[in-house]
Structure 1
Amino acid sequence: MGKQQATWAVAKKRCRLNQADIQMAKELGMTPKSLLKNIPSSNQQWKATVKVWVRDLYENKFGKVLQ
């Protein structure tokens, strides 16, 4: 496994994403680092989870969500 694949695997696990969420993030031009930076901390109750955030951005840009 290459370094890039390993980084995506870490982001997938830490952000609790599935393969469709990873695909949407890649189509939006996101990097694993940007996903990891946007994990809400315990004092950020207002912030959406990364999964919800990616899906919202994807739906706003493309009009639908991958299944």
Structure 2
Amino acid sequence: MKNTIKVERAKHDLTQAALADKVNVSRQTINSIEIGKFVPSSILALKIAAIFDTNAEAIFILEDKDWK
């Protein structure tokens, strides 16, 4: 699953640590999501989207390989 978290963080001038604090996870979790090593729960995805004032579909993009 692709995501635009890094881009959104830059737009909102947030570090990984600052975003992590806002959604109550570790900075390492945010890093793992950004690099595609971890797929967040629905709740975490919605929390992240809310921080960026958008919907989860705008941040998390399914790829063809995710369907298999």
RCO higher in structure (CA 8 A, sep ≥6):
2
TM-score of the alignment, normalized to the shorter chain, above 0.5: no
Query: What TM-score do the two structures reach when normalised by structure 2?
Result: 0.37
Which protein is bigger by CA-based radius of gyration?
1
Query: What TM-score do the two structures reach when normalised by structure 1?
Result: 0.37
